[in-house]
Amino acid sequence: MPAPQCASCNKARAALRRPRSGQALCGACFCAAFEAEVLHTVVAGRLLPPGAVVAVGASGGKDSTVLAHVLRELAPRLDISLHLVAVDEGIGGYRDAALAAVRRQAARWELPLTVVAYADLFGGWTMDAVARSTAGSGRSRSCCTFCGVLRRRALEEGARLVGATHVVTGHNADDMAETVLMNFLRGDAGRLARGGGLGSPGEGGALPRCRPLQLASQKEVVLYAHFRRLDYFSEECVYAPEAFRGHARDLLKMLEAARPSAVLDLVHSAERLALAPAARPPPPGACSRCGALASRALCQACALLDGLNRGRPRLAIGKGRRGLDEEGPPREPQPSRPPTSQSVPDF
Ligand code: SF4
Ligand code: ZN
């Protein structure tokens, strides 16, 4: 059966059906619609004011690649400037290739790039060293929790280094829905209540952060990368299969098959949640070591580094005395498989 005409331009043949709406579009009209939706997210949410110097967390994966590309297209209209900031976690056999992809993007798009490394920022600790240290401690399955906390700090440091006023990350709707689901599964009401919205305004002196792709589905991010022919890194991190997030992802896929709106419904549910006064966590103070926002004496990053340096790796973040909050942080833009004939439907 021949492909229908594009429902937007009525000229070209449609190349895809939008996963959520079912609308048949050609590649050019789909990309224009995707960019317009991100623009709307940024403008309606007042995420990036004119004149903002924006540090884009760049991992080389599809999400941050699409984010950087879309923001570069929108930069003149938004009156913002962009700076790519990549974090080298020190993961042998993985991060070097991903960073090579970021360097190619920076060169092609003529964007400044700064790379910050865990080893330099955290007293020689790399993720590989953290994984070795936690092996056998019962915490080796929690690499992503350590990594997420440290990367948040590293990205903040990198953004300050380049004089950024705002930080953006490439989390998409699926990432956010997984996080909401994980927080429900852990019964972590505090994180559920804090996790809504499109970002954080910059409490405690931190730079404001936002997620302009938060309402875009993972499928559409992949489609955009495909139709714009973006070059991105698509291997999975060696530690990813151990993460609890994988279970939330599988569950979400099942939910989405039964109810296609499940992903966005979960994202919006976090925005509408309100904690009963008695369940609200105390207002955060300042870390006694680094001054970052902290709900205890030490912030999450300092507590993790403290445990590692004492030879007692611990996840002293999150929930009460147990200090367990495993696999918790939202995934930074993760590489995924390149589009396949199944993920890029054509007629
Ligand atoms: Fe870090 Fe992501 Fe690898 Fe987990 S999967 S260790 S968060 S880079
Ligand atoms: Zn601290």
Residue nearest to atom 2 of ligand 1 (CA): 144
- CB-proximal residues (5 Å) to ion ligand 2: 287, 289-290, 292, 299, 302
Dihedral of CA 59/139/127/95: which sign? negative
Average pLDDT over residues 66-93: 97
Of the candidates 106, 97, 113, 131, which has an alpha carbon nearest to the alpha carbon of residue 241? 131
- Virtual CA dihedral for 121, 124, 125, 128, nearest 10 degrees? 120
| Atom nearest to 147 CA in ligand 1 | 1
User: Are 60 and 220 within 8 A, CB to CB?
Assistant: no
User: Are 100 and 84 within 8 A, CB to CB?
Assistant: no
Proximal ligand: closest to the CA of 286: 2
Average pLDDT over residues 271-278: 70
Here the tokens at position 286 are 């300042």
pLDDT digits (tens, 9 = 90+) for 124-141: 999 999 988 887 655 455
Confidence category of residue 290, pLDDT binned at 50, 70, 90: confident
Res 149 pLDDT > 80: yes
Residue in 94, 133, 140, 143 to alter for ligand 1 test, most ligand atoms within 8 A of Cβ: 143
| Atom nearest to 143 CA in ligand 1 | 6
Buried b (16+ CB within 10 A) or exposed e, 127-154: bbebbebbeeeebbebbbbbbbbbbbbb
Ligand 2 centroid–CA 300 distance in Å is 7
Residue nearest to atom 8 of ligand 1 (CA): 237
How high does pLDDT run on average in the chain? 84
Average pLDDT over residues 69-74: 98
Give residue 108's Cα distance to chain centre. 23
| Atom nearest to 240 CA in ligand 1 | 5
Average pLDDT over residues 160-169: 97
Give residue 15's Cα distance to chain centre. 28
| Atom nearest to 243 CA in ligand 1 | 4
Ligand 1 centroid–CA 94 distance in Å is 10
Ligand 2 centroid–CA 187 distance in Å is 25
Of the candidates 64, 9, 30, 61, which has an alpha carbon nearest to the alpha carbon of residue 228? 30
Query: Which protein residues touch ligand 1 with a CB less than 6 Å away?
Result: 89, 127, 143-144, 147-148, 237, 239-240, 243, 334
Here the tokens at position 269 are 């549910």
Residue in 126, 130, 144 to alter for ligand 1 test, most ligand atoms within 8 A of Cβ: 144
Residue in 95, 118, 127 to alter for ligand 1 test, most ligand atoms within 8 A of Cβ: 127
Residue 158: the pLDDT is: 97
Ligand 2 centroid–CA 307 distance in Å is 13
Residue 60: the pLDDT is: 94
User: CA end-to-end span of the chain, whole Å?
Assistant: 8
Residue in 96, 147, 179 to alter for ligand 1 test, most ligand atoms within 8 A of Cβ: 147
Confidence category of residue 339, pLDDT binned at 50, 70, 90: very low
Here the tokens at position 101 are 């992809």
Ligand 1 centroid–CA 237 distance in Å is 6
Task: Indicate the pTM of the whole model.
Answer: 0.84
